[in-house]
Amino acid sequence: MFGGSAAAVLGFLIFTALVLEPNWIVVERVIIEDERLSGPLAGMTIAQISDLHLKGGLGFRERELVRKLNRIEPDIILITGDLVEAAAPELVEELVKKFRPRIWSYAILGNSDRIYLPPGGYEERWKRAGLSLVGGKCLPMAGRRGEIFYLAGIDFPGYEVPGVTEKIDRILEDLPAGAPLIFLSYDPDLAPLLIERGADLVLSGDTHGGLIGLPGWPAIFHRYFGRSKYIRGLYSLGGGVLYVNRGIAPKALPVRFLCPPEITLFEFRPAGDKLRQSPK
Which domain CATH number covers 11?
3.60.21.10
**CA–CA separation, 41 vs 45, rounded Å?**
8
Q: Where are the beta strands (DSSP E) in 110-239?
A: 131-133, 137-142, 148-154, 181-185, 201-204, 233-237
Can you give the pLDDT at residue 172? 97
User: For strand 181-185 and strand 201-204, is the pairing parallel, antiparallel, or unpaired?
Assistant: parallel
Can you give the pLDDT at residue 161? 74
Rounded to two decimals, the pTM is 0.91
Can you give the pLDDT at residue 279? 38
Structural domain boundaries, residue 163: 2-279
Can you give the pLDDT at residue 144? 81
The Cβ-side half-sphere exposure at 173, using a 13 Å CA radius, reads 7
| Local confidence band at 258 (pLDDT 50, 70, 90 cut-offs) | confident
Q: Please say if the pLDDT value at position 10 is more than 60.
A: no
| Local confidence band at 238 (pLDDT 50, 70, 90 cut-offs) | confident
Q: How many separate domains does the chain show?
A: 1
Span 81-109, average pLDDT: 96
Can you give the pLDDT at residue 71? 96
